[in-house]
Amino acid sequence: MAIKNDLKIDDDLVRTLAALLDETGLSEIEYAVGDKRIRVARGNTTTVAMTAPAAAPVTAAAPAAAPTADHPGALKSPMVGTVYLRPQPGAALFVQPGDTVREGQTLLIIEAMKVMNQIPAPRAGKVTQVLVTDGTPIEFGQVLVVIE
């Protein structure tokens, strides 16, 4: 099967992912290899979307983004899910660059399997970078915030 831009879809992979949605009760699942991603999501019906690699979020210190993972103040995601930077739509952000936080303060929420998980600050300090955008999917171990 071919779609726009001559992207080939692995029909067996799509069927396997759709079966996983049925088995687990999830509403969507994403699979990535290299720079290619496939996402199968369920609304009223199951849909399939092929996407290009996600653009990296723009921050003031974008050139220093690579060493961020090794930074001692890097907060990495403890799970796969969708990140929310505010307690509810339209509310103020939990934190933004320049804010001073205390240990245990909620920095963001990760929704995983329909459960909202508050992610606390591992230590007190100043937020220097927020490396994710509100409502985007995140991976386990992905750096979310840097606290100096």
For the chain, give every residue range classified as CATH 2.40.50.100.
62-147
* pLDDT tens per residue across span 8-60: 677 787 788 777 777 777 777 777 776 677 777 776 444 444 544 545 454 44
Strand order in the sheet with 81-84: 115-120, 106-112, 81-84, 136-138
* pLDDT tens per residue across span 52-92: 454 545 444 444 444 477 788 889 999 999 999 999 888 99
The set of residues, in sequence order, having a beta carbon less than 8 Å from that of 55 and lying 6+ positions away, is none
For 29, the enclosing helix (H) or strand (E) is strand 28-33
> pTM for the full model?
0.55
Residue with tokens 């974008």: 62
Q: How far is it, in rounded angstroms, from Cα 138 to Cα 50?
A: 17
Class of domain 62-147: mainly beta
The amino acid at 53:
P
